[in-house]
Structure 1
Amino acid sequence: MTQENTKFPIYYALPLVIVMGIVLLGGWKMFFDSGNDTLPSTREGGVAPSVVRLSAFDGAEGFTHDDLKSAGVKLVNFWASWCAPCRAEHPQLQTLADEGVVINGINYKDDPVNARRFLEELGDPFAKLMADTEGRTGLEWGLYGLPETFIIAADGTVVKRFAGPITESILESVIRPAIDDAASR
């Protein structure tokens, strides 16, 4: 009787080694890569998309595509009452509005009663306000989620798109520099 070779062939472990390598590379990229982590935007550098598919927002003055090409810097902010990050960023929008920054709001796929209640509770930072009830305008703008804010120069060029809630640190490190950039154009 012969005894079989009980050594483990290396090719049995090869799939496990490959999977572990992929996991380690992914983890390295996720935790240690200090590269640009912002979502890309095809809108930056181009003219702000149309807003013709928007509906009137209950009792608010609406805006047009021509308003986005008028003098001065303006922001377009997509938001909804059901969006918790929108609630978190609201104080920063109010700060900008109090400083005289023109913010055009687009209420996205929201119940009008809830949206109005949200603004009554937290304040209304929007100079003009429209509703994207079907989400079509959000698609045209390349929306990833809510909230999203676009900084637009006087000629209607999108200078910056920021996806996510504007925190105090984002306000200082991203939004204000983009507003300054838009104002210098």
Structure 2
Amino acid sequence: MRKQFLVFPLLVLGIVGVYAFRGLSIDGSSAPSVLIGQEAPAIELGAVPGYPGPFGQEAFGGEVTLVNIWGSWCIYCLYEHPVLLEMQSEGVLIYGIAWNDAPDDAAAWLERHGSPFAAVGLDPEGYAVAQFGVTGAPETFVIDKEGVVRFRYVGPISERDWRRVIKPLIADLENESASS
């Protein structure tokens, strides 16, 4: 009888272990979005004090653009920030949306860490990020020259992901538009 009591917990632990290891193998960085292939959402945002802005949907067109959703409260945004600065130094046009932030907090964060953004809008209530279907910060969207959302990246962009995923995508989108 005692052996049966020992087998049940081991069986449950084994099942939980299988699901846990399966979950670790899921890559959430490239997440599907209903916006892929659709025009970028029509948004109008106020500016973060002391930084270029505001911006709206008219910013998404003419050049391949990234829209990065971040917050001064977001620890993963701090991890990603040096990569965004590098991307900007390599000529990538990035617009930022400060999500769920107070204007002074967002401005102080950018002052302390630098701004990679051509313009940065303030979305204190989360209305703009809801139109993008954002589930958390950071998230980044790649928008083509026609203003169409082509890619969604969930989570902090690492140096590796910038080099292997996003940079080649931007190059392809720039070449695609040039050859049309």
Query: CA separation of 1:24/1:165 partners in 2, compared to 1, >3 Å: closer, same or farther?
Result: closer
Counterparts of 1:80 and 1:108 in 2: how far apart (Å)? 5
Partner of 2:40: 48
SS of 2:57's equivalent?
coil
Unaligned runs of 5+ in 2: none
Structure 2 length normalisation: TM-score?
A: 0.83
Query: CA separation of 1:79/1:18 partners in 2, compared to 1, >3 Å: closer, same or farther?
Result: same
Please report how far the alpha carbon of residue 37 of structure 1 lies from its aligned counterpart in structure 2 after TM superposition: 4.0
Please report how far the alpha carbon of residue 61 of structure 1 lies from its aligned counterpart in structure 2 after TM superposition: 2.2
| Percent identity (aligned) | 36
Partner of 1:74: 65
Counterparts of 1:28 and 1:90 in 2: how far apart (Å)? 30
- Aligned residue runs from structure 1 range 146-165, under 5 A: 146-165=137-156
SS of 1:107's equivalent?
strand
Query: CA separation of 1:172/1:22 partners in 2, compared to 1, >3 Å: closer, same or farther?
Result: same
Partner of 1:133: 124
Q: Match for 1:67: what amino acid?
A: A
SS of 2:55's equivalent?
coil
Please report how far the alpha carbon of residue 65 of structure 1 lies from its aligned counterpart in structure 2 after TM superposition: 0.8
Unaligned runs of 5+ in 1: 1-6
Q: CA RMSD in A?
A: 2.4
Counterparts of 1:46 and 1:14 in 2: how far apart (Å)? 53
Query: CA separation of 1:171/1:16 partners in 2, compared to 1, >3 Å: closer, same or farther?
Result: same
Partner of 2:20: 27
Please report how far the alpha carbon of residue 27 of structure 1 lies from its aligned counterpart in structure 2 after TM superposition: 3.2
Structure 1 length normalisation: TM-score?
A: 0.81
SS of 2:56's equivalent?
coil
Please report how far the alpha carbon of residue 108 of structure 1 lies from its aligned counterpart in structure 2 after TM superposition: 0.7
Preserved contact between residue 94 and residue 124 of structure 1 (Cα < 8 Å): yes
Q: Match for 2:68: what amino acid?
A: N
Bigger radius of gyration among the two: 1
Residue by residue over 1:39-91, the C-alpha shift from the partner in whole angstroms, topping out at 9 and shown as x without a partner, is 33222222211213x223213222221221x2111111111111111111111
